[in-house]
């Protein structure tokens, strides 16, 4: 029984990590809490569903399409909203408020277009098959989810660590001004980051949509809150922290659902978030940032 729960936790946790990775990337590079990330996650899963059920696209193509669409949305948010705010040198809470607005607009648009009811992927589009490994029922779907999440994360880690682009991004995370003086195209990389982060959010939406096979316009909201819990847990802007925090939240949630009560599972994320902020605001792995006077 415990093994089964651990598998659930790993599946859930890997998607949380994927979602939070995009979230924390934007914070690390753009220094913006993008509260539309949850809505973009939701858009991703609707996009995949639409591609599968209206265009009969195979699932992998639908995932790609979902990433493309949500990535483009993220790019648009950056170009149309965050960029003018940067140009104006707006106080750091302003972009956060603006992205709340974007989230409301996307959620409402999805509700208008697809209705408030729960939509599901057609059964035949889901990867079928189930194995029993050591008494644990493993769905092919779960393996696919964990594999996709980890492959994408590995690609991102490698890109950040080893490529010129990654080095430039890390330079910007240190100081956009210094990076710009070094000849790095800061604005361009802000756009790239927004696109990649939103694409990761979108694919996370597809994966969660597949795992629970339930898509609603409101699904982004709890995910957003979980994402916040994860990046605060892992330290804001900390890529490695997002991975560990995501997995940790997945386990904490599944275990408390199994052994406490199903409702408490939802409270765990926020309780944890609240506690971490009070005890160690820099996150479990974060550095302490001194306020620049």
Tokens at 281, concatenated: 């605001």
How many CA atoms, within 13 angstroms, populate the side-chain half-sphere of residue 55? 11
Percent composition of the chain: helix, strand, coil (DSSP 3-state, to 5): 75, 5, 20
- The CB-of-89 to other proteins minimum distance in angstroms stands at 11
- Residue at token pair 């306020």: 291
CB-nearer residue toward other proteins: 132 or 293? 293
Q: Are 54 and 214 in contact (CB under 8 A)?
A: no
**Complex with other proteins: residue 184 or 230, whichever CB lies closer:** 230
Binding region for other proteins (CB under 8 A): 33, 81, 84-85, 88, 90, 92-94, 96-98, 100-109, 111-112, 221, 225, 228-229, 232, 236, 261, 263-264, 266-267, 270-271, 273-274, 277-278, 281, 291, 293
Length of the chain: 293
Q: How far is the CB of 236 from other proteins (least distance, A)?
A: 8
Residue with smaller CB distance to other proteins, 11 or 36: 36
105 vs 140, which CB is nearer to other proteins? 105
Phi and psi angles of residue 58, each rounded to the nearest 5 degrees, phi first: -65, 160
| Cβ distance to other proteins smaller for residue 57 or 109 | 109
Minimum gap (Å) between residue 116 Cβ and other proteins: 9
What is the spatial distance between Cα 87 and Cα 109, in angstroms, rounded to a whole number?
28
CB of 64 to other proteins, least distance (A): 28
What minimum distance in Å lies between the beta carbon of 229 and other proteins? 7
Alpha carbons 122 and 224: distance in angstroms, whole number: 26
Tokens of 151: 């492959």
| 153, two tokens | 């994360």
């Amino acid at each position: 029984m415990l093994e089964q729960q651990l598998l659930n936790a790993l599946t859930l946790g890997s998607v949380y990590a994927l979602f939070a990775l995009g979230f924390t990337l934007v914070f690390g590079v753009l220094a913006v809490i993008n509260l539309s990330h949850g809505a973009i996650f939701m858009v991703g899963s609707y996009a995949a569903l639409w591609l599968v059920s209206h265009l009969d696209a195979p699932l992998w193509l639908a995932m790609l399409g979902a990433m493309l669409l949500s990535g483009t949305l993220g790019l648009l948010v950056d170009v149309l909203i965050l960029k003018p705010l940067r140009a104006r040198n707006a106080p750091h809470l302003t972009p956060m408020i603006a992205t709340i607005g974007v989230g409301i607009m996307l959620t409402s648009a999805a509700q208008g277009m697809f209705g408030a009811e729960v939509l599901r992927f057609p059964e035949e589009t889901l990867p079928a098959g189930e194995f029993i490994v050591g008494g644990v029922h493993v769905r092919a779907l779960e393996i696919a989810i964990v594999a996709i999440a980890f492959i994408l994360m590995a690609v991102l880690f490698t890109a950040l660590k080893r490529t010129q682009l990654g080095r430039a991004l890390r330079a910007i995370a240190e100081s956009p001004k210094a990076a710009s003086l070094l000849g790095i195209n800061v604005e361009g990389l802000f756009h790239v980051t927004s696109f990649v982060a939103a694409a990761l959010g979108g694919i996370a939406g597809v994966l969660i949509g597949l795992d629970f096979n339930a898509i609603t316009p409101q699904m982004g909201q709890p995910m957003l809150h979980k994402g916040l819990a994860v990046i605060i847990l892992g330290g804001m802007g900390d890529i490695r922290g997002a991975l560990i925090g995501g997995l940790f939240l997945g386990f904490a949630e599944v275990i408390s659902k199994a052994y406490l009560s199903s409702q408490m599972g939802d409270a765990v994320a926020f309780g944890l978030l609240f506690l971490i902020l009070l005890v160690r605001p820099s996150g479990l792995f974060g550095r302490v940032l001194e306020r620049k006077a």
